[in-house]
Amino acid sequence: LKVTLSPVHRRDRGMTGAIAVLQDVTDQEKLEHSRRQFVANVSHELRTPLTTIKSYAEALNDGALEERELSERFVGVIRNETERMIRLVSDLLHLSRLDSNQAPLRRQQTNIQDMLDEVADRFSFQLRQKSITAKVKVDRSIKQVWLDRDQIDQVLDNLVSNAVKYTSDGGSISITAMKSKDKAYVEISVQDTGIGIPAKDLSRIFDRFYRVDKARSRNMGGTGLGLSIAREIVKHHGGKIMLESELNVGTTVTFSLPLLQEGGDAK
């Protein structure tokens, strides 16, 4: 709480009173704090790969270039780190466009069964590599939904890629679509039988750069922004996203989208 006192003067009588302004600054301070935290996080996330790239380039310069096998490995590390930085910067740009409303929704009538089958197809190579089975199930009463296909594909890609990343070999993933109880929304879930998330981390899981295990997420090529981007896109569509998880059992992420008529807009 910020208190500002200003005296009230009358020309002939001196000070006759005071005006007190009580201002709640906690929200403002919180916003400022999270903005600073965000900049610190971005800087750190960019500096880490840059430091790695620099030291491997130096090692190449200092003689590793003479050894073919070693130099190939070092160049591989440099390429991986560069690719991760590109992903990070693209994710940041994407988030900033969503934040400033520069990503207008281009809704189109979309067949939900086709959309979910296609996301499973996009991951078929990775799924096969880890012997993970994936199944898609869509409530028969759901046909076309009015949504921005590119943006919802991005949400699905983020969720399915997490499900694949955090599920060990031989597990299973199911992607389902049903109607909400009040029939006003379609609810799409991505469920896995993966490593799960500890209860203490659940409340912060949608925060930018929040990761249960930073080192593991980095090794898997994660940026820590996937769920934040998914949440922004779902919010723009007028829906909600939530995550349920049990350690060593699995994770389910569900998002809802309003079942709008063509031309309708949730906002």
Report H helices in 62-200.
68-99, 112-122, 124-129, 149-165
Question: Can you tell me which residue has the tokens 């919180």?
Answer: 30
Does residue 241 interact with ligand ADP by CB under 6 A? Answer: no
What is the residue-wise DSSP string for 128-194?
HHTT-EEEEEE-TT--EEEEEHHHHHHHHHHHHHHHHHTS-TT-EEEEEEEE-TTSSEEEEEEEE-S
Strand-pair partners of 178: 187
Please tell me whether residue 53 binds ligand ADP under the rule CB under 6 A.
Answer: no
> Which residue, among 159, 168, 243, has the nearest Cα to 201 in the 3D structure?
243
Of 117 and 213, the one with the shorter C-beta distance to ligand ADP is: 213
Which CB sits closer to ligand ADP, 142 or 202? 202
Taking the least distance from each CB to ligand ADP, the nearer of 151 and 228 is 228
Task: Report the b/e string of 22-59 with b at 16+ CB within 10 A.
Answer: eeeeeeeeeeeeeeeeeeebeeebeebbeebbeebeee
Q: Which is nearer to ligand ADP, 226 or 239 (CB)?
A: 226
Q: Is 49 in the site for ligand ADP (CB under 6 A)?
A: no
CB of 84 to ligand ADP, least distance (A): 10
Residue numbers 203-222 binding ligand ADP by CB under 6 A: 205, 211-213, 217, 222
Is residue 255 part of the contact set for ligand ADP (CB under 6 A)?
Answer: no
The window from 40-48, 117-125, 144-152, 155-163 that contacts ligand ADP (CB under 6 A) reads 155-163
Residue 256 binding ligand ADP, by CB under 6 A: no
CB nearer to ligand ADP: pick between 224 and 239: 224
Residue ranges binding ligand ADP (CB under 6 A): 158, 162-163, 166, 192, 194-197, 205, 211-213, 217, 222-228, 251
